[in-house]
Amino acid sequence: MLFSSPIFLFVFLPVVLLIYYGPLRSTRRGQNLFLLLASLFFYGWGEPVFVLVMLGSVGFNYLLGLWVDRRLRRGRSPALPVAVAVTGDLGTLFAFKYLTFTLANLRALGADLPLWDIALPIGISFFTFQALSYVLDVARRDAQVQKSPLDVGLYIAFFPQLIAGPIVKYRTVARQIHHRQESWASFSQGCGRFLVGLGKKVILSNQLALIADAAFDPALPSSVAMAWLGSVCYTLQIYFDFGGYSDMAIGLGKMFGFQFLENFRYPYLARSCRDFWKRWHISLTTWFRDYLYIPLGGSRAGRWRTVRNTLLVWLFTGIWHGANWTFLCWGLLWFCLLTAERALPGGERGPLWLRRGVTFLLVNFTWVLFRAPSLPQAGRFLLSMFHGVPWSAQAGYYLRQNWLVLVLAVLACGPSATWLRGRLARWSEGEGRPDLLPAWDALCALSLAAVFLISASFLVKGSYNPFIYFNF
């Protein structure tokens, strides 16, 4: 079940909210149990059998958390249960996500091995990292162990961030499981945030996907202009797809009293490659930083070990995204860019517009590798961006049909609404000037209502509705 689906918007979410704030309002344990059951129903909507994988992950990590806690209370090292957790969680992830890819490559090298077609549980990369975070945070004494398996289940399986993040570290929400505070202000903020994300996904990302899919068709783009248009549209699509989903997840969390950390901070305004990864998929970046990069020594163990640690992080970041050589090479490319940027003198100098422009171009090129189904096709697409017929009727058609979506997408890449509100606030402070902020806030509320109506109309009529990170 997707957030951007009629069944979720008009049936699942209203029913869950009515029960949560109706008969269960006065019992936190009842609310938590209900949210867990609702989350399992949400996860099992498409493939019920994978609920068993989810429950297995919950039970496995719950028991390991108890084992870690017992060893800590006895003054013993938690290394053994942590090793079991890492092996079990990553082993399960490998079996479902990477085993077929590994066997296929070994067969290509001549090994006589069977090839199994293993279905991928939705969002397994996300909930596996969350489950592992629970055991690691208990082992580090960053959070208390949960005695109830239902509480561990709610943390791992909570439906707003279950299938596409953000990856929520256990220590950031451990207290909220029983001591969160719901309020009308938080609920209304959550509704607004959810609608912003819904608009990004349905109105912007889905329309941009039509152009990107046409450009990335197995045949080469019809012109240099179409190749550039397709790559830029995919760059915008993946941001509004994943960023919109993160907005919806954060908004849903607020509706139930949970406060999730931000996952995106206007990444296409980044002024360097390092700055980009401080703004893009922040929950994944910080997960690898806290649980891999820093434990390996981070940047404190000398120059070459820093390079090694960075290489390992980006190898795992690439592999985390999918079982394909394109993702592995995408991670290596980012390692090269970040290492070169760190080594080159004056990397943070120059006009701001130039640094942002160069960073955007580099990011755009990396997304081509991320989007292409194979390395040869990625190479051919990149070549077509600089060689071939300059213009085509196809590029002109898509520009004419989608210019408004492209303009809105560019504006939505930055804090346009926040900037305008700030300008109005400063203007209204002048003596004798009317206070325009109430009118602005009313306009924003009407805009959100319009976003909901437009998004709902697109979804009801069955418009194109892909979701990139649904497969991760």
- Per-residue pLDDT averaged across 9-35, rounded? 96
Whether 281 is catalytic = no
Type of residue at 400: R
pLDDT digits (tens, 9 = 90+) for 183-209: 999 999 999 999 999 999 999 999 999
Question: In this structure, are residues 426 and 453 in contact, taking their beta carbons and an 8 Å threshold?
Answer: no
Nearest 5°: phi and psi at 388?
A: 135, -165
Average pLDDT, the chain: 92
Between residues 442 and 463, the one the model is more confident about: 442
Q: Which of 178, 179, 281, 321 is flagged as catalytic?
A: 321
Taking the C-alpha atoms of residue 166 and residue 283, their distance in angstroms, rounded to an integer, is 6
Residue 293, token pair as written in the block? 């990069």
Query: What is the Cα–Cα distance from 234 to 210, expressed in whole angstroms?
Result: 9
pLDDT, mean of residues 425-454: 86
Q: Which phi-psi region, left, alpha or beta, contains residue 298 (left: φ > 0; alpha: ψ -120 to 50)?
A: left
The two structure tokens encoding residue 186: 């938080």
Q: Which of 202, 156, 177, 186 is nearest to 56 (CA)?
A: 156
Q: Does position 464 have pLDDT exceeding 90, yes or no? A: no
Please determine, for residue 333, whether its predicted confidence score (pLDDT) is greater than 70.
yes
List, for residues 92-108, the tens digit of each pLDDT value: 999 999 999 999 999 99
pLDDT digits (tens, 9 = 90+) for 388-421: 999 999 999 999 999 999 999 999 999 988 888 8
pLDDT at 382 exceeding the cut of 80: yes
**CA max distance for the chain:** 84
Q: pTM of the prediction?
A: 0.94
pLDDT at 470: 60
Exposed / middle / buried, residue 225 (Cβ in 10 Å: 0-12, 13-18, 19+): buried
